[in-house]
Amino acid sequence: MVSYAWLLGILLLLFFGLNRALNYLSFRDKEPRPSWKTKIWAIPLFSLLILAPVTGFAFLYMLFFRGIEHTGTLISFTGKANLFTFSLVILLSFLFFETFIHPLIHALIRYVLKRPPSVYGRQVITIIADCLLIYVFAHLIPGVYIQDLLSALTLSVALHMIEWILAGIMILYKKQQKRI
């Protein structure tokens, strides 16, 4: 029941935020505010455009964690709902940290060291932060069991290796497109 309350709260926050965004855009462009008839279809449609990719990527994370669960003893789940909830929370926390927290940490390091952190330093910061997120949320979400901090670090490194492989494939694809 508590998860339904959280879901309802998040959806209401999303609807309210989109309503405010539509009002702001009409004010900024010096146009009349959209009518309620427009908002009735526009706000749920925009919400779907936000929620569909997030749910899809959470499903991919769920497949990754399910594969990790079956191959070793790093992490285990009592049910598919717990697995999806964990995947969704991890995805949203990764997005939040990549958007807000990591740039603040990089700016702090730049301020302290009087030079920007290296590429490897930024990767280490990201891996350690993601490791801590996985570890903390595995203990906060019921039905998710993680072995120890080293297991969370292993999962974080595995996720980043997948990211690096996909980034490398994208670079190769762009080089191939330039040749054509």
Say if CB 130 and CB 66 are below 8 A apart. Answer: no
Taking the CB of residue 65, how many other CB atoms lie within 10 A of it? 23
Q: Which pLDDT score is estimated for 161?
A: 93
Q: Which pLDDT score is estimated for 135?
A: 93
Q: Tell me: pLDDT of 153 over 90.
A: yes
CA distance 11 to 121: 37
Taking the CB of residue 43, how many other CB atoms lie within 10 A of it? 19
What confidence category does residue 84 fall into, taking pLDDT thresholds of 50, 70 and 90?
confident
CA distance 107 to 30: 37
39 versus 122: the higher-pLDDT residue is 122
> Among candidates 154, 144, 148, which has minimal Cα distance to 76?
144
Token pair belonging to 115:
């030079």
Q: What is the pTM of this model?
A: 0.76
Average pLDDT over residues 34-60: 84
Q: What share of the chain is helix, strand, coil (3-state, %, to 5)?
A: 85, 5, 15
For 20, 35, 90, the CA distances from 38, given in Å and listed in that order, are 14, 5, 34
Size of the chain, expressed as the number of residues it contains:
180
Q: Which pLDDT score is estimated for 118?
A: 87
